[in-house]
Amino acid sequence: MSSLAGRRIVLGVTGGIAAYKAVEVCRRLVDAGAHVVPILTSGGRRMVGETTFSALASEPVRTSLFDDPETPIPHTTIGQSADLILVCPATARVLSDMRTGRSADLLTATILATRAPVMVCPAMHTEMWEQPSVQENLAVLADRGVLIVAPESGQLAGGDMGHGRLPESATVLAAVEAALGGGELLGQKVLVSAGGTREPIDAVRYIANRSSGKQGNAVAAEAASRGADVVLVTTQPNSAPTGVRIIAVETAAEMAAACELEAPDSALVVMAAAVADFRPAEPADGKLKKVDGAPAVVLVPTIDILATLGAAKPAGQTLIGFAAETDDLVTNAAGKLARKNLDLIVANDVSKPNVGFGHSTNEVVLLLSDGTRHDVPLSDKREIACAVLDAALGYRS
């Protein structure tokens, strides 16, 4: 059962262009079992329709302090009954109002009238996001205990690229789940690796692979939503989910050092990263020049992180590996499962369409050391992460 089942969440939608993403956030919250009470500001109503949220949420949209004859003091009633208030998106205006305690509308009045956790998802143009006043407001709110889901870099309104983009709905949902706590992994440490390592050839070039880190990020987010204390060792820190401790690395050696340090006291280790098998033996300190001709790049093996962790696995720890294959999927994955002393391996055929590297979907076969097999059809990577953790928890029990 989801940790959100039966929880009352007030969803405040303000007047940013990212308000359209709040529709998907609303749907996901309801699908997870939450009771969603939508409040739209006047700006939010200009961006998205009331009918949409009334249809998707658990209650009709609220918009005013004064127009509900059945609830003469709606902000108090809503605020007192909330388990969490989520402002998504949060504009610069509402952040300013929250800092100063200005009761400008039903949403800000409700925030003032609650003792529940408040979470904001700022979203705005880069120039606005970088304004010192906005950053100061966020710092003050964070000091007061307001939970902040940081924006991401990407395409903004008008086609600009920059920081200030509202994260995807799965990231927001994971943050809500982590804030409300609970779940099977409550208080347990989970180590996850994500992304593809980069092995330097010279000062500007490196050997890499196609991994985006999306599957590892999804596992980290799902583990956090189940109450785990998650450590994410990643080569893609800018796309990491909220609510986890991030260790940024680049090379296989750096990832190995971080994982060997964090693994011994972890109840669950999920090695989703695509680690290079080889690295240049002697990377150049400077940039290699074309005029000097093609360099002879001699490759040597990198450390086998998974095998190292498998050999040192403490009693009671569950170790999960990944196998990206293009042929003989099950045979190759089963061999890796046995050789590296794993409890579970997640195998996918990356030659298939929409599977694996760079995609938002995946299709996997889960092989457990007790001989159990689970086939998971093409699904969103968060759903894959859910299946992986369900299988791991079932194995441990």
Q: Tell me the CATH number at 362.
A: 3.40.50.10300
Give yes or no: 137 in active site: no
Count of beta carbons in the 10 Å neighbourhood of residue 159: 6
d(CA 16, CA 370): 51
**Are residue 266 and residue 332 in the same domain, yes or no?**
yes
Provide the pLDDT for residue 152.
85
Same domain, 162 and 269: no
3, part of any domain: no
Distance of alpha carbon 56 from alpha carbon 25, whole angstroms: 10
- Residue 364 resides in a domain: yes
pLDDT at 26: 96
Is 134 in the same domain as 273? Answer: no
Virtual torsion, Cα 352, 355, 359, 360, nearest 10 deg: 140
Point out the residues of the chain with pLDDT beneath 70: 1-3, 69, 72, 181-182, 396-397
Supply the Cα-derived Rg of the chain in whole angstroms. Answer: 23
What are the φ and ψ backbone dihedral angles of 123, each rounded to 5 degrees? -150, 125
**225 and 172 co-located in one domain:** no
Q: 2 in a domain, yes or no?
A: no
Domain boundary among 148, 180, 212: 180
170 and 262 part of one domain: no
What CATH number has the domain bearing residue 72? 3.40.50.1950
The domain boundary, picked from 147, 180, 213, lies at 180
User: Are the CB atoms for 78 and 41 separated by under 8 Å?
Assistant: no
In a domain, 249, yes or no: yes
Q: Are residues 344 and 252 in the same domain?
A: yes
Question: What is the pLDDT at residue 182?
Answer: 63
Q: Has this prediction a pTM greater than 0.75? A: no
- Residue 52 inside a domain? The answer is yes
Asked if the structure places residue 293 within a domain, the reply is yes
* Residue 1 lies inside a defined structural domain of this protein: no
262 and 152 both lie in a single domain: no
The owner of tokens 């003469």 is 72
Residues near 152 by beta carbon (within 8 Å), at least 6 away in sequence: 163, 165, 166, 167, 238, 239
Q: Is residue 61 part of a domain?
A: yes
pLDDT for 1: 44
Give the total number of structural domains in the chain. Answer: 2
Both tokens assigned to 14: 């303000």
Same domain, 105 and 205: no
Domain boundary among 138, 160, 180: 180
Q: Is 60 exposed, middle or buried (0-12, 13-18, 19+ CB in 10 A)?
A: middle
Q: Are residues 239 and 98 in the same domain?
A: no
Distance in angstroms (rounded) separating the CA atoms of residues 135 and 163 = 13
Range of the structural domain that residue 95 is part of: 8-180
18, 40: one domain = yes
Q: Which of 137, 209, 238, 354 is catalytic?
A: 209
What gap in Å lies between CA 160 and CA 307, rounded to an integer? 45
216 and 174 assigned to the same domain: no
Q: Residues 271, 391: one domain?
A: yes
**Residues 177, 224: contact at Cβ < 8 Å?**
yes
